[in-house]
Amino acid sequence: MIKLMPYRDDKIWGYELWLVSAYKDKSSTVIYDDKPYDFGSFYNDHKDLFGKVAYDKFPLIIKKIVANDDLSIQVHPTQEVALKYGDDSKTESWIILDETTSNDIIYGHQASNEEEAKQYIKNKDYDAFINRIPIQAGDVLTIHPGTIHAIKANTSILEVQEAADTTYRFYDYDRVRDGSKRPLHTKKALETLQIPDQTVSRETNVSCYNISQISISDSYSSKTDERGCFIYITSGHGKLNGESVTKDDLYFIPVNETYTLIGNMTCVQITIQ
């Protein structure tokens, strides 16, 4: 098993811990043979540990997001719109973590057509425009491209996503950073917005990753297949293959390796498809 250390990205609304990433200048760190390595370099040099899912570039980003304030109301572009503007598209999934004290999250909208959506936006009537859905620890929400969404203050999530970082903002509460408001992308956001809205997705098995949650009160053993997996401790503490682990630790288990978790904890297992 291989321990990973995050890259921290501070935001106007809180911070992100890029737990697993080979994305541009936001690479996480791998502890391998008691030495730290940039994850991107480690992945390129040790693809045999990742087996049959050894893509040319690492296909996922896994983050912990801690929101002390509301995130912008936003959308990620569809493949079609992303190609048009030279951007990238992604699907992402959120697992609600147990330190969350917010009772809901923004997911989807109420507009029945584009003109209605434009009117909501023109009037900044976002309370009427957006959907809020209830959340609790352990919930999984999958956000497909074109789905309007936002994390609210006092929410912590584990996010699993395709390796992309394009966001189109509808609204950012007129916040100012370094003397200026952050840019909005209303035209692009409307162009990619799904109208009418999609049903809330709680998929755990999507195009390039699979998510499963494991609750352990004594012990749990498994063996990876030819893909390996990542194990993230969401709460509690115990041991993984004899090594002490606790909340927020993340490990990669290479291909065809047996692993055993002992203790009282909950975990998320992420497998690349």
Q: How many CB atoms are located within 10 Å of the residue 157 CB?
A: 23
Q: Are 60-192 and 209-272 equal in CATH topology?
A: yes
For residue 129, give the nearest of 144, 151, 114 by alpha carbon. 114
Q: What's the rounded Cα separation, in Å, for the pair 117 and 193?
A: 9
Assess whether pLDDT exceeds 90 at residue 179.
Answer: no
Please state the domain extents for the chain.
60-192, 209-272
CATH of the domain spanning 209-272: 2.60.120.10
For residue 150, give the nearest of 130, 136, 135, 134 by alpha carbon. 130
Would you state the structure tokens that stand for residue 20, as one six-digit string?
Answer: 């697993």
Token look-up 């999984």 returns 140
pTM of the predicted protein model? 0.95
Q: What percent of the chain has pLDDT over 70?
A: 99
Which sign does the torsion angle of CA 266, 155, 192, 178 carry? negative
pLDDT for the residue 35: 86
Q: What's the rounded Cα separation, in Å, for the pair 7 and 20?
A: 8
What fold characterizes domain 60-192?
Jelly Rolls (2.60.120)
10 Å CB burial of residue 257 (0-12, 13-18, 19+) is middle
| Residue 145: HSE in the Cβ half-sphere, 13 Å Cα cutoff | 19
Span 53-60, mean pLDDT?
83
pLDDT for the residue 56: 85
pLDDT tens-place string over residues 133-167: 999 999 999 999 999 999 999 999 999 999 999 99
In 20-56, which positions are buried (b, 16+ CB within 10 angstroms) versus exposed (e)?
Answer: bbbbeebbbbbebeeeebebbebbeeeeebbbebbee
pLDDT for the residue 53: 64
> Which residues are catalytically annotated?
169
Res. 54 pLDDT band, cuts 50 70 90: low
